[in-house]
Amino acid sequence: MARILALANQKGGVAKTTSAVNLAAALVESGQRVLLVDLDAQACATFCLGWDPEDLELGAMDVLRGAAIAEVILKTADGVDLLPARIDLAGADQLLATRSGREFVVRDALAAVANDYDWIVIDCSPSLGIITINALAAADDVIIPLQCETLSHRGVGQLMETITDVKRLINPRLRVLGILPTLYDGRTAHAKAVLNDLGPRYKVEVLAPITRSIRFAEAPAVGRSILATSPKSKGAVEYRALAKVILRKN
Ligand code: ADP
Ligand code: MG
Q: Is the pTM of this model over 0.95?
A: yes
> Which-ligand-closest: CA of 23?
1
For ligand 1, what atom is nearest to the CA of residue 145?
3
For residue 150, the model assigns a pLDDT of 77
Confidence of residue 112 (pLDDT cuts 50, 70, 90): very high
**Which residues contact residue 59 at a Cβ distance below 8 angstroms, ignoring those fewer than 6 apart?**
38, 43, 46, 53, 72, 83, 84, 85, 86, 88, 89
The response to whether residue 210 sits with its C-beta less than 6 Å from ligand 1 reads yes
Interval 50-72: pLDDT, tens:
999 999 999 999 999 999 999 99
The response to whether residue 17 sits with its C-beta less than 6 Å from ligand 1 reads yes
Question: Which of 145, 144, 149 has its CA nearest to residue 160?
Answer: 144
Q: How much is the mean pLDDT over the chain?
A: 96
> DSSP E strands: which ranges in the chain?
3-7, 34-38, 81-83, 119-123, 141-147, 175-182
The response to whether residue 13 sits with its C-beta less than 6 Å from ligand 1 reads yes
From 16, 36, 40, 216, the mutation candidate for ligand 1 (largest count of ligand atoms within 8 A of CB) is 216
The response to whether residue 12 sits with its C-beta less than 6 Å from ligand 1 reads yes
Confidence of residue 149 (pLDDT cuts 50, 70, 90): confident
- Report the length, in residues, of the chain: 250
175 sits in which H/E element: strand 175-182
Interval 222-235: pLDDT, tens:
999 999 999 999 99
DSSP string, 104-116: GHHHHHHHTTGGG
For residue 21, the CA-to-ligand 1 centroid distance in Å is 11
